Amino acid sequence: MTLAVVGTDTGVGKTVVTAGLVAHLRHSGRNARAIKPAQTGFPADDDAGYVQRICGDDSAATRLRTFEEPLAPAVAARRSGDELAFDSLLEGVQHELETASIGVVEGAGGVRVPLSTDPPREIIDLVAALEFPTLIVSRPGLGTLNHTTLTVEALRARDVPVVGVVLNRYPSQPRSVAERTNPAELERLCACPVRTLPEVSSEAPESVRELGTRVVELCVDAGALSAGR
């Protein structure tokens, strides 16, 4: 059983959502594992390391390739004089999935971010090749209608099943009309489930795991995950 987590942009909270999802599943007794195909900005940014800390277990997540500059993976690879082969990433993800009953593959930035150099491919190409149901993480405020609908459209054009959308860091008291109306409007525009996730302390494992509870509920309702152990 596998799932991809992608974002409408960088900094929307994909890693916190991924960590919450994996932490909840592991706490429930399920062998879930996060996989980061390409990590840039490393070691200052380490998404797999964050998931490991939240779960309290190094086996909870892994990264395949790392690059120091905080850029799109393909750009960082070219600037470092390295090659980032698409087939190698795809095979690496598939190999890592063999060690988990539930695999969660986290993207980088948005779905059109350049991923590999040989041949030139994007995050969306990897998700489509893996044929995973995909969860979209988005911002709650002004601008998210455009970013989110374009992401859903791009995924569906590649026959990628869209599990739903989570609006991350949704305020307990929405401050703007956009924040108040976006959840219902996105459900209408995207024809998929939309859930709001509160802002939590990203370094508090219990809070992040509780966030994951809501994500798991959405995935179960959408048929992307089973409800059992």
Active site residues: 36
Concatenated DSSP letters of 128-188: HHHT--EEEEE-SSTTHHHHHHHHHHHHHHTT--EEEEEEEEE-SS--SHHHHHHHHHHHH
Evaluate whether 209 touches 218 at the Cβ level (below 8 Å).
no
- CA nearest neighbour of 186 among 151, 160, 213: 151
Rounded distance, CA 74 to CA 211, Å?
A: 31
β-strands 120-122, 114-117: how paired?
antiparallel
Q: Most distant CA pair in the chain: distance in Å?
A: 48
> Which residues, listed in sequence order, are joined to residue 34 by a DSSP beta bridge?
61, 104
- CA nearest neighbour of 59 among 28, 90, 103, 91: 103
